[in-house]
């Protein structure tokens, strides 16, 4: 049997690499520090239903990604989201329809990555802290000190600041990855027993602590009651308020929401806040994926490209392609 390939991170990039490698007949083993797959495409189960706190939707522009998105849609894992879209500039709210196709996992964003995970071998609640190479093979050590291996190659598919810490075996690679800054985002969910009196279902926001807001019930497959909303702060606001208590974040973003939405906003009947420390890369890159192919160490993630779901998928594909290419040349 093949010595398996370790993939650290079961977000879109890690799952994309896993699919490309298993399609080529190789064995993979995924590891994730969370209890499930999906990473920043996660959805939170709550008393008011599932809430997509990270990625809100995604677009498909690359033709390979367009093709796979179509397959996922045919499998019933995705739906198109057609919200009544608004924009807010300087406090002025206006309708902002466009023709962009936007996709979401159904019945929650994380359903897509759960479907992609399928039966792939994966170890969850396992934070990898060390990646080292023995004489012939790679081994991983987790936060409890347990070691995992042997593996023929390793793909690190986690946000850049977390990846850099795992790359001490390849100092040049580690230095490139460590140069990538990622920005935080505070996300807040609000639930109202009595629906808000507004036609807004999604809104791109400028000149506010908020960057984006979405109304859950406008998304296919979501509960219609209570009326729940997800608000994202800008990265600048999130950085400035990084250590603010969640209750204070909720109140400040609720006030910003009330100022722009153009209808009465009562106290929320439900609220929660989630802090994404590494939400998006500070700058876009055109790296696709990074590697020390002779060592057998590969790095991928949205931050190698656009900082979007599409970029994460493309980056995972590229890491797998480079691994397979190197393997072929050396066989």
Ligand X SMILES: NC(=O)C1=CC=CN([C@@H]2O[C@H](COP(=O)(O)OP(=O)(O)OC[C@H]3O[C@@H](n4cnc5c(N)ncnc54)[C@H](OP(=O)(O)O)[C@@H]3O)[C@@H](O)[C@H]2O)C1
- Residue 37, token pair as written in the block: 């797959």
In eight-state DSSP terms, residue 108 is S
CA 62, CA 317: separation in Å to the nearest integer? 12
Report whether 133 belongs to an annotated binding site: no
Per DSSP, which regions of the chain are E strands? 5-8, 28-31, 43-46, 49-52, 78-80, 85-89, 92-95, 103-105, 122-123, 128-133, 138-142, 147-151, 154-156, 182-192, 202-205, 210-215, 227-233, 270-281, 290-292, 297-299
Pick between residue 178 and residue 262 the one whose CB is nearest to ligand FAD: 178
> CB under 5 to 8 A by kind: which of ligand X, ligand FAD, none does 87 bind?
ligand X
CB of 306 to ligand X, least distance (A): 8
Judging by beta carbons within 10 Å of its beta carbon (0-12, 13-18, 19+), is residue 197 exposed, middle or buried?
exposed
CA 170-308-124 angle, to 5 degrees, is 60
CA 307, CA 262: separation in Å to the nearest integer? 31
> CB under 5 to 8 A by kind: which of ligand X, ligand FAD, none does 157 bind?
ligand FAD
Pick between residue 33 and residue 219 the one whose CB is nearest to ligand FAD: 33
Instruction: Answer for the pair 138, 151: CB distance below 8 angstroms, yes or no.
Output: yes
Report whether 250 belongs to an annotated binding site: no
CB of 148 to ligand FAD, least distance (A): 11
Report whether 67 belongs to an annotated binding site: no
Pick between residue 204 and residue 262 the one whose CB is nearest to ligand FAD: 204
Pick between residue 87 and residue 123 the one whose CB is nearest to ligand X: 87
Pick between residue 218 and residue 262 the one whose CB is nearest to ligand FAD: 218
> CB under 5 to 8 A by kind: which of ligand FAD, ligand X, none does 31 bind?
ligand FAD
Q: Are strands 270-281 and 128-133 parallel, antiparallel or unpaired?
A: unpaired
Pick between residue 31 and residue 58 the one whose CB is nearest to ligand X: 58
> CB under 5 to 8 A by kind: which of ligand X, ligand FAD, none does 237 bind?
none
Report whether 86 belongs to an annotated binding site: no
Judging by beta carbons within 10 Å of its beta carbon (0-12, 13-18, 19+), is residue 325 exposed, middle or buried?
exposed
Task: Give the interface with ligand FAD as residue ranges (CB under 6 A).
Answer: 8-14, 31-34, 39-41, 54-58, 127-128, 157-159, 162, 185, 187, 232, 276, 279-280, 301-302, 307-309, 312
CB of 329 to ligand FAD, least distance (A): 27
CB of 153 to ligand FAD, least distance (A): 17
Annotated binding site for substrate: which residue ranges? 57-61, 96-98, 308
Annotated binding site for FAD: which residue ranges? 13, 32-33, 40, 56-57, 128, 302, 309
């Amino acid at each position: 049997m093949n010595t398996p390939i370790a993939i650290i991170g079961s977000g879109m990039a890690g799952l994309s690499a896993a699919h490309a490698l298993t399609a080529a007949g190789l064995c993979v083993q995924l590891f994730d520090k969370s209890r499930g797959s999906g990473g920043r495409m996660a959805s939170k189960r709550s008393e008011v239903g599932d809430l997509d706190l990270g990625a809100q939707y995604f677009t498909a522009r690359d033709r390979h990604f367009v093709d796979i998105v179509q397959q996922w849609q045919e499998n019933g894992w995705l739906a198109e989201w057609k919200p009544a879209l608004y924009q807010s500039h300087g406090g002025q709210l206006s309708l902002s329809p466009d023709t962009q196709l936007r996709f979401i996992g159904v019945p929650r964003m994380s359903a897509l990555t759960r479907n992609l995970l399928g039966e792939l071998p994966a170890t969850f609640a396992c934070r990898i802290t060390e990646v080292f190479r023995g004489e012939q093979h790679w081994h991983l050590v987790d936060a409890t000190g347990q070691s995992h291996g042997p593996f023929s190659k390793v793909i690190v598919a986690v946000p850049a600041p977390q990846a850099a810490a795992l790359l001490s075996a390849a100092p040049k690679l580690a230095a490139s990855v460590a140069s990538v800054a990622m920005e935080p985002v505070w996300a807040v969910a609000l639930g109202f027993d009595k629906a808000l009196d507004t036609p807004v279902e999604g809104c791109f926001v400028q000149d506010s602590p908020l960057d984006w807001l979405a109304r859950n019930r406008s998304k296919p497959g979501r509960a219609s009651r209570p009326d729940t909303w997800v608000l994202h702060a800008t990265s600048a606001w999130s950085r400035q308020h990084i250590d603010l208590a969640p209750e204070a974040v909720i109140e400040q973003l609720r006030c910003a929401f009330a100022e722009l939405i153009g209808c009465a906003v009562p106290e929320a009947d439900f609220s929660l806040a989630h802090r994404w420390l590494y939400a998006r890369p500070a700058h876009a890159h055109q790296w696709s994926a990074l590697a020390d192919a002779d060592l057998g160490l590969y790095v991928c993630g949205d931050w190698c490209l656009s900082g979007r779901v599409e970029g994460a998928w493309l980056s995972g594909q590229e890491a797998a392609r480079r691994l397979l290419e190197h393997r072929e040349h050396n066989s």
